[in-house]
Structure formats: structure tokens, C-alpha cells
């Protein structure tokens, strides 16, 4: 039995559900917005977790679940809870419900897409870059500083430079312009991340267990996710095949970070150097699947089913 | 140089800093979290040459990872009180924390404890995960339960494995040593195994000793134990490990 946790109308969730239907897999849906009808308990005895999950009017032993897909949103932002006071019993109940679910998923023997702890490396891009480098990828030359003089020297050395957040917050990549340089003294109050721009082809690689789906992205924008806003054109996506060695590197990277499912952002230079910018532990794969027809959701469904 | 990185309020770390200096580790620099966030000048790079940092503190000291011989790292958070009330305060908190995760990652071994994705000085784990890990390590564990209908609000209160008020004893692992209590070898070995499993060499482990059969039972763990509980023997071994395992560099 597979447990799907999240908001059923969210596209990635819906695609995985469709794929499970197509496979004829047995699954139950935990609709996060219907939290008030659910109950969950977790016991750990002698290192073995057990417990019950009640939802949709049925009761399940958590041992029944051999695959778990979690795409939970922060429950504070659920429409049913967003106006609740901080000491609301509903908020407390919801917090305890999803905490129990998450704690079980962290230690369960089920196939979990994805556990919370391994997702932590994505909180800090340069931290994650240090891990990425161990798997054989190039990482862009990066400077994090609150010293404007160092930024000027970095820009003089590398020419085109981009800046972006160090954490996952406000993570839109922008080219450092002359106009930006007139405000560069603002970095004194908070260190900022700058990177040498890497020329080449953007490739998003989704890994699902051992399976690999690579998508090339053609765009003139600095950050292809915001192509229309930055360049006025939409990015063009097409499936590409990776060499066996590169595909293996991607799988090794994902599994090394503890991620059953990941979206890896690469740039392949004309000289065939492979730069890795980020490993996204909760990729919005539906965008790539809808543009290319790559069966990513089918692979997730297969993985959850143990195949 | 060796580093003690901690909050200026961490009495346990300040005690250890004095004790380690007295044991001859020199130069041994005290770097507080507050020094790192108020007037420090940061240069942190990642790229083809690896990851490096160079920070100039307000007092003129320069800390460069290439010259670090060993570290006691006790950072739990990034203090930014001086920015409180500014419009981008929450953003700055996220950015500073992400920066700290990264520069701490550049520090060489020996380091007690290194940054992990779940914590600046070792992984902070939930009680459920500690119980699960402790059982794997061979420690006796109490039955653990939690549910959607618990009274606790974990956004306000830490969940405990044993009821509040239960008498416990703290031991501290350091590599192949256990300090603070004279434990039976089997229990001491299980404590060391727990530290190994959670990749936290300097680990505080809380145990109960009691009925029904006078057995040691796991009650909690932390990557931030009060080092004073290990006393002078802990400092002796910590100083030894910091010295013996320091990186050998070509001059």
C-alpha cells in the first residue's frame, strides 16, 4: 500500500496519483486540507515503529505502507488555518498530526519520497555545493562577502557575474549589472552570494531511484525558471540523453544526499565541463513532464511501488 | 591555530576554552557567534580550489580555515539581535544561517562537532529519532509514543523521552571514550556506537538507572552537552585529540 500525502489538486501530486492509477497500484490519499478528520499514533518499542493512521473513515496500520509520497505544505498556510490565532487548538492538533506523520516517515522502512532530514542540505547553496563537488561535478566560482571591494575584484576577474540568495529564500538568479554596483555598499549589512556566470546549456536532471530523465533548456534568461520575466521569451525544453558516466554521477549524487527523488540543475559548457548548481529535493517536475512528455511521474509511481 | 566557536553566553564552552588553553594548545582563539555577526568582514569562497573562508573580526584577528588545526564548535544559532526590527530581518536570518552552515563545513578535522544539515554543531534530532537510533546502537530504550492528539505543542516545548522530573545522568562520548559516569562496558560501548551512528563524536547521552532491575536506559541525547559534566578527564582527552589529530601541513 502506498500513502500519498499532500494537496490532491497540486499538479505533481495529481500526476503521481494518475501514474499509480495507470499501474493499478493500491494507494490511499492523505488530503492535507482534510486534517480535521484524521488521527495518527506512533509507537517505538525496541527500535521498531508501529502505529495507526485513520483517514477517509478507514484505519490503517502504518506497517501496511511500503511507499510514501510526501508533498506537504506548511500547515500554517492551509486556507483552513491561516486565520487561526497562534494558540488555536486546531493549529496544535494539525502540528501534532503532521509531526507524527513526518517522524514516522523519517524512520520508516518504507520507500519515502523524500524524507525531511536529507532535504536539509538544500537550505544552504554553498553548503550543498561542497557536497556536490565530492561527486565529481564542477561548481561555479563563488564568493560570499559583505566587502564591496572583494565584489569589485571578483567582477573584474570573472566578467559576467550573477548574484542569488545563499539560502533557498528569494532564490532568483540575477546578473550583477553596473546599476547594481552603484548599490553594492548595501551588502555590508548582510553577506551576499556572487557567482561567475557559466556559459553553456542548462540541463535539469530528475533522478528517481536509479532512473534518470534529462531535459535541456534553451533560454536567453539568467534564470530559466523566470525566462519570460527576464527575457520576454519562454524557455524551450527538450529531452536529452546523458552519457552513462554522467547519468551515474547524477544517481550517485542523489543517493549520496539521501534523496530518492531529486531535481539536479546542471550546466554543460561547450568544452563539456559539467557544472552542478543545485540539487532540489522537492522538484516541481510537472513543468518538465508537461513540456517534454518525459514519464517522470511514472518513475515516481514505480519507485513507490518498489519496482 | 585551534578554535573555540560558541555563544558568548555558553558557560560550558568558556570553561572548556580556559581548560584547553591551560593544557598548552596555542594559539587557541575564542570566536563567539556575536563577534561573527556584528562587525566581521567575510570572505567565503567555493570553487575549483575547494571551499575556504577568511573572516576579519572587529578586534583585528583573522580566522582562515587553512590555518585551523582543530575546532570545538558549539554554535546552535546565528544571533542577529542587532538587526531585529529591520524590514528584511527574517531574510537576513535565513541568509546568515545558510552562510554559517557553509563556512563551518570548510573547517578541517578534528572538529567537535562538525556542521550537519540538521544543525550547526551536529544534528538536532527529534526524540523519536533518538529512541530509534539508541535502540539500533544497543541501548535499552523506553517505549515511545506520540500522536495527533497529544497535549504538547512542540513549537513551544521540547518533547521528552522520559517524564519531566525523572532523575537522569549525563555521559559524554568523545571518540572511544565515555566520561561522566562509570558505566558497564556494554552500556559504554552502546553509547559510543550511538555517537558513531549519528556522526557526532562529542555527544551527550542522558540515561536513567532505576527499577525494575537497576538497568541503564536511554533517556535522551544532545550534540551540545554541558562539558563540565565530563570534568578534567574530558578536557585531557579533548586536548589530546585536538593536538594529535591536527592536520599536518607543509610549511
Burial track B62-99 (b if 16+ CB lie within 10 A, e otherwise): ebebeebbbbbbbbbebbbeebeeeeeeeebbbbbbbb
Mean pLDDT, rounded, for A215-219: 92
**Which H or E element spans position A238?**
strand A236-240
Query: In terms of pLDDT, which residue wins out, A232 or B6?
Result: B6
Helices B127-137 & B185-197 angle (0-180, nearest 10): 130
Our CA-based measurement puts residue B225 at a distance from the nearest CA of chain A, in whole angstroms, of 22
Our CA-based measurement puts residue A169 at a distance from the nearest CA of chain B, in whole angstroms, of 7
Interface mutation vs chain A, best among B85, B120, B128, B140, most A CBs within 10 Å:
B128
Q: Does A103 contact chain B (CB < 8 Å)?
A: yes
User: pLDDT tens for residues A65-107?
Assistant: 999 999 999 999 999 998 999 889 999 999 999 999 999 999 9
Alpha-carbon B206 to chain mean position: 15
Residue A219 reports pLDDT greater than 70: yes
Residue A223 reports pLDDT greater than 80: no
Cα–Cα dist A14/A300, whole Å: 12
- The number of residues in chain B equals 251
Our CA-based measurement puts residue B221 at a distance from the nearest CA of chain A, in whole angstroms, of 16
pLDDT (tens, 9 = 90+) of chain B, 251 residues, equals 999 999 999 999 999 999 999 999 999 999 999 999 887 899 999 999 999 999 999 999 999 999 999 999 999 999 988 888 888 889 999 999 999 999 999 999 999 999 999 999 999 999 999 999 999 999 999 999 999 999 888 888 889 999 988 999 999 999 899 999 999 999 999 999 999 999 999 999 999 998 767 899 999 999 999 999 999 999 999 999 999 999 987 65
pLDDT of residue B26: 93
Q: Which chain B residue shows the shortest CA-CA distance from A45?
A: B143
Contact call for residues A40 and A53 (beta carbons, < 8 A): yes
pLDDT of residue A273: 97
Identity of the residue in A49, A129, A165 whose CB atom sits nearest the CB atom of B46: A129
User: pLDDT tens for residues B168-206?
Assistant: 999 999 989 999 999 999 999 999 999 999 999 999 999
If you write DSSP's letter for every residue of chain B in order, what string do you get?
Answer: -EEEEE-TT-HHHHHHHHHHHHTT--SEEEEEHHHHHHS-EEEEEEETTEEEEEEE-TTS-EEEGGG--EEEE---S---GGGTTSTTHHHHHHHHHHHHHHHHHTPPSSEET--BTTBBTB----HHHHHHHHHHHT-----EEEETT-S--TTTS---SS-TT---EEEEEETTEEESS---HHHHHHHHHHHHHTT-SEEEEEEEEETTTTEEEEEEEESS--GGGGHHHHHHHHHHHHHHTSPP---
Instruction: State the pairing for strand pair A67-70/A111-113.
Output: parallel
C-alpha cell of residue A274: 559539467
Q: For residue A38, which residues of chain B lie inside 8 Å, CB to CB?
A: 148
User: Which neighbouring-strand residues pair with A34?
Assistant: none
Alpha-carbon B218 to chain mean position: 19
Question: B146 vs A42: CB contact, 8 Å cut-off?
Answer: yes
Cα–Cα dist A160/A183, whole Å: 17
Our CA-based measurement puts residue B131 at a distance from the nearest CA of chain A, in whole angstroms, of 7
Q: Does A178 contact chain B (CB < 8 Å)?
A: no
Question: B41 vs A130: CB contact, 8 Å cut-off?
Answer: no
Q: Does A286 contact chain B (CB < 8 Å)?
A: no
What distances in angstroms separate CA A173 from CA A29, A159, A167, A263, B9, one per listed residue?
A: 36, 16, 12, 17, 38
Q: Does A140 contact chain B (CB < 8 Å)?
A: yes
Supply the mean pLDDT for chain A.
Answer: 94
Query: In terms of pLDDT, which residue wins out, A26 or B82?
Result: A26
Q: What is the DSSP letter of A76?
A: G
pLDDT of residue B210: 81
Nearest Cα residue to A126 out of B189, B97, B170: B97
pLDDT of residue A226: 67
C-alpha cell of residue A21: 492509477
pLDDT of residue B154: 84
pLDDT of residue A169: 82
ipTM here: 0.94
Q: For residue A44, which residues of chain B lie inside 8 Å, CB to CB?
A: 128, 131-132, 135, 141, 143-145
Amino acid at each position: 500500500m502506498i500513502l500519498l500525502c499532500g494537496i490532491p489538486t497540486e499538479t505533481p501530486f495529481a500526476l503521481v496519483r494518475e501514474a499509480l492509477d495507470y499501474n493499478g497500484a493500491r494507494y490511499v490519499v492523505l488530503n492535507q486540507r482534510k486534517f480535521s478528520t484524521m488521527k495518527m499514533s506512533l509507537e517505538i518499542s525496541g527500535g521498531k515503529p508501529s502505529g495507526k493512521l485513520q483517514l477517509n473513515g478507514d484505519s490503517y496500520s502504518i506497517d501496511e505502507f511500503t511507499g510514501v509520497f510526501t508533498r506537504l505544505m506548511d500547515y500554517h498556510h492551509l486556507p483552513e488555518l491561516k486565520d487561526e490565532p497562534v494558540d488555536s487548538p486546531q493549529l496544535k492538533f494539525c502540528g501534532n498530526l503532521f509531526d507524527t506523520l513526518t517522524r514516522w516517515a523519517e524512520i520508516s522502512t518504507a520507500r519515502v519520497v523524500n524524507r525531511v532530514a536529507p532535504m536539509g542540505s538544500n537550505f544552504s547553496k554553498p553548503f550543498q555545493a561542497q557536497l556536490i563537488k565530492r561527486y565529481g561535478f564542477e561548481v561555479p566560482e563563488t564568493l560570499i562577502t559583505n566587502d564591496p571591494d572583494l565584489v569589485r575584484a571578483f567582477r573584474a576577474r570573472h566578467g559576467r557575474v550573477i548574484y542569488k540568495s545563499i539560502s533557498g529564500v528569494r532564490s532568483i538568479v540575477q546578473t550583477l549589472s553596473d546599476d547594481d554596483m552603484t548599490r553594492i555598499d548595501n551588502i555590508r549589512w548582510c553577506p551576499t552570494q556572487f557567482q561567475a556566470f557559466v556559459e553553456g546549456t542548462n540541463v535539469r536532471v530528475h533522478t528517481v531511484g536509479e532512473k534518470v530523465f534529462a531535459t535541456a533548456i534553451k533560454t536567453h534568461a539568467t534564470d530559466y525558471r523566470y525566462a519570460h520575466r527576464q527575457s520576454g521569451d519562454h524557455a524551450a525544453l527538450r529531452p536529452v540523453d546523458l552519457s552513462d558516466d554522467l547519468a551515474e554521477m547524477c544517481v550517485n549524487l542523489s543517493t549520496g544526499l539521501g534523496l530518492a527523488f531529486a531535481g539536479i540543475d546542471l550546466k554543460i559548457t561547450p568544452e563539456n565541463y559539467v557544472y552542478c548548481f543545485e540539487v532540489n529535493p522537492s522538484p516541481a517536475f510537472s513543468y518538465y513532464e508537461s513540456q517534454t512528455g518525459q514519464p517522470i511521474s511514472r518513475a515516481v509511481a514505480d519507485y513507490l511501488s518498489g519496482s | 591555530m585551534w578554535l573555540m566557536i560558541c555563544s558568548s553566553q555558553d558557560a560550558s564552552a568558556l570553561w572548556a576554552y580556559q581548560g584547553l588553553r591551560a593544557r598548552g594548545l596555542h594559539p587557541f582563539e575564542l570566536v563567539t557567534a556575536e563577534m561573527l555577526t556584528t562587525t566581521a568582514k567575510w570572505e567565503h569562497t567555493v570553487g575549483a580550489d575547494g571551499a575556504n573562508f577568511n573572516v576579519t573580526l572587529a578586534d583585528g584577528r583573522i580566522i582562515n580555515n587553512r590555518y585551523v588545526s582543530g575546532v570545538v564548535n558549539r554554535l546552535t544559532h546565528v544571533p542577529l539581535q542587532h538587526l531585529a526590527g529591520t524590514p528584511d530581518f527574517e531574510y537576513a536570518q535565513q541568509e546568515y544561517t545558510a552562510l554559517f552552515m557553509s563556512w563551518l563545513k570548510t573547517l578541517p578535522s578534528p572538529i567537535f562537532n562538525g556542521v550537519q544539515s540538521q544543525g550547526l554543531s551536529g544534528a538536532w534530532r527529534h526524540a523519536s529519532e533518538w529512541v530509534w537510533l539508541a535502540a539500533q546502537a544497543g541501548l535499552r530504550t523506553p517505549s515511545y509514543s506520540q500522536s495527533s492528539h497529544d497535549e504538547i505543542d512542540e513549537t513551544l516545548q521540547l518533547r521528552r523521552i522520559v517524564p519531566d522530573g525523572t532523575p537522569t545522568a549525563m555521559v559524554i562520548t568523545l571518540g572511544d571514550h565515555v566520561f561522566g559516569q562509570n558505566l558497564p562496558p556494554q552500556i559504554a560501548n552502546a553509547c559510543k556506537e550511538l555517537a558513531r551512528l549519528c556522526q557526532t563524536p562529542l555527544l551527550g547521552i542522558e540515561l536513567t538507572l532505576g527499577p525494575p532491575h537497576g538497568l541503564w536506559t536511554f533517556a535522551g541525547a544532545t550534540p551540545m552537552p554541558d562539558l563540565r559534566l565530563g570534568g578534567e578527564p574530558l578536557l585531557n582527552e579533548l586536548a589530546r585529540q585536538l593536538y594529535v589529530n591536527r592536520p599536518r601541513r607543509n610549511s
